[in-house]
């Protein structure tokens, strides 16, 4: 496996190229996401509304500002977070198939969130805190199992994660079966990864992922060294425990934040880092910013598909990402076996 | 000043004691080979010297207590070449060697021209410069080992610790690696400490050998002092033969099969 593009370029040049390309893609996805929909709005009009210039139709402006823009922003932040989260887990577990959803981390935070909702807690800080607690619990369980050598080897770890995920799924169904009918509909749609119920008021919550982004970007070089294994990383001057703890904390926190808003959306963290690695190589100083931009663009486009494919209404975006991601996962597993 | 001093080192894995009161002094510019049967704690001793395993006792690196170094500072003085370096992710040779510069960089700093020059130099020294853009998983065992050594050189250390760097290499590649290390010692005054199972290579290149047995160092000295039939037989538990190729020549050590006479 070697990068398709620009072999032998210095990191600076590759980073500049990647950021340029992916920013362009993100800008395009952003405009498409706002302009397409049940009533399409032309690009120039979208730009006028966003910049507040020119004479705009108030209804159209309201659709853009109140419905489409928040939704596209939610998709962008969620996609960025999940892609970056996948990248971090892959580096820490030295497993290119690791991903918050596959490992059950997202499932853990979903359990936490449902418990919070059923207990009638406020979305913030109540439900966010219970979601975080849920994902930390799954993470600790996973680390304990792999630390004790029970999940040694890459496939065992994945299998453990998949089983934790299945277990989380069962707990979620159990909780749903206990709840009343109105709650059920809401929870099920949210679970499947639905971006349609998002309101502008929830936007500030998403800003909570930014400190995690900054921390992960800052730790990109140590992440490279961690891929060489614990001893190699330590011998090259990395404080392995501290870096691992910081990365796991930051990643789990941001993943539970987006799970609370957007539900369970799988495989973004698998697809995006994989494609970017093929294009640009394995250096995390490039992959981390590229995953943010690429993940954001990807989920905006997936969400666009999710709301335009069905003849009537729309489907949860989690269905689209699973349709793309699950086959890729199987392909990667098959190729790694050969 | 000594490169590495180890005093009263004890190490436990759970209930099992791996290192027992290990004492060892390695002078600057020395080539020391740690030998001994499997499971006698050679790798553990190496890791304890590098601060990769928490052992009780005293370790001094270049005269300073190990604990007084931060990880980064230690990595500028002491490089480690472990037995295995995983390559699950496709880093290129150049990227891997350049990672040796990280202990010299601050968190957000990118490698500069000088770092690239040093990496280039290290790759040329270990003869992997022509592989610079290849991926690690495309290399042979010998090439990969030379890349890891280039990375260690790139750290600019004064002490280099290696864990069986010649294991699973053919004789030509074994000698090539050992020659490289000897060159580093002679030309740059680097202190080389390595673990090896190959008693003949140890005898050829080691200025001094340390023989480990059941968590202790049972003998230290020049090859002729350490590689005696009695000592080796007691240590390895099999019959051994030690011969000189010619008077004053190289020592050769062979295990003997049951019933075979030397």
Each residue's pLDDT tens digit, A24-63 = 999 999 999 998 877 788 888 888 888 877 777 888 888 8
Residue of B nearest to A236 (CA): B75
- Does the structure show a pLDDT above 80 at A133? yes
pLDDT at residue number A5? 52
A244 CB within 8 Å of a chain B CB: no
3-class state of residue A263 by DSSP: coil
Question: Cis omega (within 30 of 0) on the bond before A125?
Answer: yes
- In sign, the C-alpha dihedral spanning A55, A58, A63, A67 is positive
Helix (H) or strand (E) holding B58: strand B56-61
Confidence of residue A1 (pLDDT cuts 50, 70, 90): very low
Q: What percent of chain B lies above the pLDDT cut of 90?
A: 75
Range of weakest confidence among A155-159, B143-147, B186-190: A155-159
In whole angstroms, give the CA distance from residue A139 to residue A282. Answer: 25
Each residue's pLDDT tens digit, A157-183 = 778 888 888 999 999 989 888 887 777
Residue of A nearest to B91 (CA): A282
How far off is chain A from B155, nearest CA to CA, in Å? 8
Confidence of residue B146 (pLDDT cuts 50, 70, 90): very high
pTM for the model: 0.89
How far off is chain A from B103, nearest CA to CA, in Å? 5
A149 CB within 8 Å of a chain B CB: no
By Cβ distance, the residue of B73, B80, B107 closest to A235 is: B80
Exposed, middle or buried, A309 (CB in 10 Å: 0-12/13-18/19+)? exposed
Confidence of residue A281 (pLDDT cuts 50, 70, 90): confident
CB contact under 8 A, B90 and A281: yes
- In sign, the C-alpha dihedral spanning A149, A153, A158, A163 is negative
Task: Scan residues 60-99 of A and list those with Cβ closer than 8 Å to B.
Answer: 94-96
pLDDT at residue number A154? 62
User: Which of A228, A243, A283, A285 has the most B C-beta neighbours within 10 Å, making it the best mutation to test the interface with B?
Assistant: A228
**C-alpha distance across the termini of chain A, in Å:** 13
More confident residue, A125 or B104: B104
Domain annotation for chain A: domains and CATH numbers: 11-337 (1.10.3470.10)
CB contact under 8 A, A229 and B85: yes
How far off is chain A from B135, nearest CA to CA, in Å? 7
Beta strands B159-163; B191-195: pairing state: parallel
- Least Cα distance to A82 among A258, A327, A274 occurs for A258
Residue of B nearest to A277 (CA): B90
Range of weakest confidence among A79-83, A334-338, B31-35, B131-135: A334-338
How far off is chain A from B97, nearest CA to CA, in Å? 11
How far off is chain A from B256, nearest CA to CA, in Å? 37
**What value does the mean pLDDT take over residues B161-169?**
91
Question: Between vectors from CA A252 to CA A250 and to CA A256, what angle results, nearest 5°?
Answer: 120
Confidence of residue A7 (pLDDT cuts 50, 70, 90): low
Question: Between vectors from CA B158 to CA B156 and to CA B164, what angle results, nearest 5°?
Answer: 95
What's the ipTM?
A: 0.90
CB contact under 8 A, B99 and A285: no
pLDDT at residue number B126? 92
Measured CA to CA in angstroms, residue A255 lies from A97, A259, B109, B110 at distances of 17, 6, 28, 29
Q: What are phi and psi of A263, to 5 degrees?
A: 75, -155
- Spatial strand order of the sheet with B2-13 comes to B16-27, B2-13, B56-61, B64-65
Each residue's pLDDT tens digit, A247-265 = 999 999 999 889 888 888 9
Each residue's pLDDT tens digit, A313-325 = 778 888 899 898 8
B108 CB within 8 Å of a chain A CB: yes
Residues of B in contact with A274 (CB under 8 A): none
């Amino acid at each position: 496996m070697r990068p398709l593009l620009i072999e032998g370029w210095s990191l600076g040049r590759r980073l500049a190229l990647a950021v340029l390309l992916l920013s362009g893609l993100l800008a395009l996805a952003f405009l498409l996401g706002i302009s397409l929909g049940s009533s399409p709005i032309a690009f120039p009009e979208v730009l006028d509304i966003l910049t507040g210039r020119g004479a705009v139709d108030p209804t159209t402006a309201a659709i853009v500002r109140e419905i489409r823009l928040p939704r596209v922003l939610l998709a962008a932040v969620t996609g960025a977070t999940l892609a970056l989260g996948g990248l971090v887990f892959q580096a820490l577990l030295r497993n290119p198939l690791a991903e918050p959803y596959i490992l059950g981390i997202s499932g853990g935070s979903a359990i936490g969130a449902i418990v919070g909702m059923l207990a009638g807690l406020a979305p913030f800080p109540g439900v966010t805190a219970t979601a975080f607690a849920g994902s930390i619990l799954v993470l600790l369980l996973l680390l304990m199992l792999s630390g004790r050598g029970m999940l040694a080897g890459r496939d065992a770890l994945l299998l453990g994660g998949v089983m934790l995920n299945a277990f989380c799924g069962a707990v979620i169904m159990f909780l749903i079966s206990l709840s009343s009918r109105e709650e059920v509909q809401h929870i099920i749609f949210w679970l499947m990864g639905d971006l349609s119920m998002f309101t502008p008021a929830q936007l500030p919550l998403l800003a909570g992922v930014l400190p995690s982004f900054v921390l992960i970007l800052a730790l990109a070089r140590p992440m490279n060294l961690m891929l060489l294994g614990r001893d190699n990383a330590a011998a090259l001057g990395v404080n392995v425990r501290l870096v691992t703890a910081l990365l796991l904390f930051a990643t789990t926190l941001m993943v539970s934040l987006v799970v609370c808003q957007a539900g369970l959306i799988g495989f973004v963290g698998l697809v995006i880092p994989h494609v970017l690695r093929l294009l640009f190589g394995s250096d995390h100083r490039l992959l981390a910013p590229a995953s943010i931009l690429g993940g954001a663009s990807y989920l905006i486009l997936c969400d666009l598909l999710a709301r335009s494919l069905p003849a009537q209404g729309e489907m949860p975006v989690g269905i689209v990402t699973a349709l793309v991601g699950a086959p890729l996962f199987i392909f990667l597993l098959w190729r790694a076996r050969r | 000043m000594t490169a590495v001093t180890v005093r009263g080192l004890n190490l436990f894995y759970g209930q099992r004691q791996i290192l027992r009161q290990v004492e060892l002094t390695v002078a600057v510019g020395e080539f020391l080979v740690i030998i001994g049967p499997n499971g006698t704690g050679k790798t553990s001793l190496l890791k304890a010297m590098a601060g990769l395993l928490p052992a009780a006792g005293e370790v001094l690196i270049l005269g300073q207590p190990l604990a007084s170094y931060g990880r980064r500072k230690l990595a500028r003085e002491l490089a480690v070449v472990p037995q295995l370096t995983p390559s699950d992710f496709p880093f290129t040779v150049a990227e891997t060697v350049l990672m040796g510069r990280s202990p010299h960089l601050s968190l957000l700093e990118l490698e500069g021209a000088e770092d690239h020059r040093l990496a280039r130099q290290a790759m040329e020294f270990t003869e992997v410069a022509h592989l610079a853009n290849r991926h690690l998983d495309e290399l042979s065992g010998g090439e990969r080992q030379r890349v890891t050594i280039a990375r260690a050189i790139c750290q600019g250390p004064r002490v280099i610790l290696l864990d069986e760097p010649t294991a699973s290499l053919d004789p030509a590649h074994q000698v090539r690696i050992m020659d490289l290390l000897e060159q580093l010692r002679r030309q740059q005054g680097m202190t080389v400490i390595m673990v090896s199972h190959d008693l003949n290579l140890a005898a050829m290149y080691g200025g001094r050998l340390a023989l480990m047995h059941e968590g202790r160092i049972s003998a230290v000295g020049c090859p002729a002092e350490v590689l005696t039939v009695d000592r080796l037989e007691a240590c390895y538990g099999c019959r051994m033969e030690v011969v000189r190729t010619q008077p004053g020549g190289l020592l050769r050590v062979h295990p003997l099969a049951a019933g075979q006479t030397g």
